[in-house]
A and B are shown apart, each in its own frame.
Chain A
């Protein structure tokens, strides 16, 4: 059993090595397919980060009248927290609002001066509400409209930004759906190209397969080395595609940061190197094994 396994592995390596050009051609196609696969993963990460960043910028703020007791504000907060759509609510009291305002405008002497001249704090206390999904702001807004404590509200920002929020929500939604379709489509192409390349490589070996059968080799003894070759293709292609992608990401990273400041692609790639390699190996080896097994079964029927 162990001897047979050893022979299968040895024959796989020998065949890979001695088929030189054919192996190189197959390998280069799989490397390309894996690069596409890697591109898909990165594209996915980028769109996710960009969309999350965008989503984080959307919120509803309720500004309370200056004479609202803190109790009422906290009651409102509690009531809103019971809604399933609400992700989190931040309470900003008037003092804190002033602090933030001062901090933001500390370099603007005109504003600082005018604030000092005003004896009173002109800013309002507010509740900053974030939803799980941009589409849910309508529901939250509806809830606010019907609330009993509505009388304390000075203004609600949703009313002002409703159109923008809705449009952003639609953009995010479409981008997610479109991205998924694109990913599936490109991944399918990569899979088909790899599968057909391996199939062609085995097709060119069909006579040898016939000879092996006539000499009395069992199906598993014939199939084994081709599966081993598939594993070799997957492993080498996985490593090479990472080695190619690394420098490309390194140089592209600063440019991507201009569009999506929230992500440093290079440091993300570097810290997830082994995850990337794992995915690539899994995809490459899996595809290699499956393609070889399917392609060879056609020639094992005689």
Chain B
């Protein structure tokens, strides 16, 4: 379960304060599929960064399972991040590692056995349809393929939650739908999914819970929401 309790995030630059998120409160239950919707700069990425402890909130509390993310210690960070799989718009693959090695890295970092790696990595790559590109480097893959490697990597540690921050932003419609279908499949297998996007068609197709953000504030939170922007 994820709880945001009156969370605000302000950035101070040269005595000028920018509001990234203001007084946001919501709860996400396990196995939910939630979409975060809003224009660029509405605060979607801030919520993602707060969840993976890349940023600390200015006010309020962020709770992820048994972790109070605000108070998390340096050495606990890797454990928290292994329980959350993150997918980014720009894929963020390690350029000098093959698809196999990129996915395996998450397992290696978690200290898993070599035999596990040899068993699970091909399975994960097969699930995303990339078994035949296992030994290709990211530069040899298309955008859609890179994003599928990123999904396989996010999934490999069986996280409690997958966060996808604009995962289809750099993809053509066909590849975008493939990615969304994969996310739905992952959710159906029991993983919580938080999808940040501004793609209207996708939101309307999903018919799942939608949290709407505008200028850092939550303006709507609806079950089976639609994409509505003022």
Contact = CB atoms under 8 A, between A and B. Distances in A.
Interface of A: 3-4, 7, 14-15, 18-19, 207-208, 210-219, 221, 302
A211 B106 contact: no
Given A216-B79, A216-B106, A217-B105, A14 B96 contact: yes
A19 B81 contact: no
Contact of B78 (A207, A208, A217): A217
B172 to A, nearest CB: 24
Contacts of B113: 3
A110 B111 CA distance: 92
Contacts of B95: 208
Chain A interface main SS type:
helix
A278 B61 CA distance: 55
Contacts of B77: 213
B153 A215 contact: yes
Interface of B: 52, 54, 74-75, 77-82, 86, 92-97, 105-106, 108-111, 113-114, 153, 157
Nearest to B75: A218
Nearest to A209: B94
Contact of B96 (A18, A213, A218, A219): A18
A7 B109 CA distance: 9
B69 to A, nearest CB: 14
A19 B94 contact: no
B81 A216 contact: yes
Contact of B109 (A14, A19, A207, A218): A218
A24 to B, nearest CB: 15
Contacts of A212: 94, 105, 109
A10 to B, nearest CB: 9
A214 B96 contact: no
B111 A3 contact: yes
Contacts of B82: 216
Contacts of A219: 74
Which of A3, A18, A218 has the most CB atoms of chain B within a 10 A radius of its CB?
A218
25 contacts: A3-B111, A3-B113, A3-B114, A18-B96, A207-B92, A208-B94, A208-B95, A208-B96, A211-B92, A212-B94, A213-B77, A213-B81, A214-B52, A214-B86, A216-B78, A216-B79, A216-B80, A216-B81, A216-B106, A216-B110, A218-B78, A218-B109, A219-B74, A221-B108, A221-B109
Nearest to B157: A216
B105 A4 contact: no
A302 B54 CA distance: 6
A219 B74 CA distance: 9
B6 to A, nearest CB: 25
B109 A214 contact: no
A19 B96 contact: yes
